[in-house]
């Protein structure tokens, strides 16, 4: 293990945390790719890359490489390939779920992954009319402040009977 020099500023600490998070995420995606291979081997005796799961397997491998600090892939093309593979799997499992009730659980999992990715994209994408990294348009109307919704409290009522 190498000697770690502690960061001297919050920006350095955040940069280090980001690098560690990206490495961890790259490893998590690589683990997911290995699980996909294991499932494919168990189901059809062929790796994911040699089965119908090839687009998804390739997208996961590319995503892991892109997230890795040593990677340098084109992020847009990689994410597009991942989305296409995910959509293909959703369509395949949707068709299977019409005949096999067990396939609905797999379909729900793929739909959940797509929903999470959509939420992340919507949350981190630049606002309409703004280019990434540019200043907001001075002529654009300001967004109204968001109102905080009050949380509904659970009311317990004693029931006789």
All structural domains of the chain with their residue ranges: 14-124
What CA–CA distance (Å, rounded) separates 23 from 64?
Answer: 9
What CA–CA distance (Å, rounded) separates 28 from 31?
Answer: 5
CA quadruple 131, 136, 138, 141: dihedral sign: positive
What CA–CA distance (Å, rounded) separates 58 from 42?
Answer: 19
Instruction: Per-residue pLDDT tens, the chain, 161 aa: give them.
Output: 568 888 898 888 888 887 788 788 888 888 888 888 888 888 888 888 888 888 888 888 877 777 776 665 555 666 677 778 888 889 988 999 999 888 888 889 888 888 887 776 655 454 444 444 444 444 444 544 555 555 666 667 777 76
Q: What is the pLDDT of residue 75?
A: 58
Q: What is the pLDDT of residue 48?
A: 86
Q: What is the pLDDT of residue 76?
A: 61
The SS3 assignment for 74 reads coil
Q: What is the pLDDT of residue 85?
A: 83
């Amino acid at each position: 293990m190498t000697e770690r020099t502690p960061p001297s500023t919050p920006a350095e600490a955040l940069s280090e945390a980001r690098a560690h998070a990206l490495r961890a995420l790259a490893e998590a995606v690589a683990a997911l790719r290995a699980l996909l291979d294991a499932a494919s081997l168990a189901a059809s005796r062929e790796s994911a890359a040699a089965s119908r799961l090839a687009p998804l397997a390739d997208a996961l491998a590319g995503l892991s490489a892109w997230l890795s600090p040593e990677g340098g892939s084109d992020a847009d093309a990689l994410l597009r390939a991942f989305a296409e593979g995910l959509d293909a799997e959703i369509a395949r499992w949707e068709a299977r779920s019409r005949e096999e009730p067990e396939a609905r659980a797999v379909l729900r999992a793929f739909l959940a992954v797509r929903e999470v990715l959509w939420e992340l994209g919507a949350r981190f994408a630049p606002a309409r009319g703004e280019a990434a990294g540019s200043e907001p348009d001075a002529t654009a109307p300001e967004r109204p402040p968001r109102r905080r919704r009050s949380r509904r409290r659970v009311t317990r009522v004693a029931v006789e009977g």
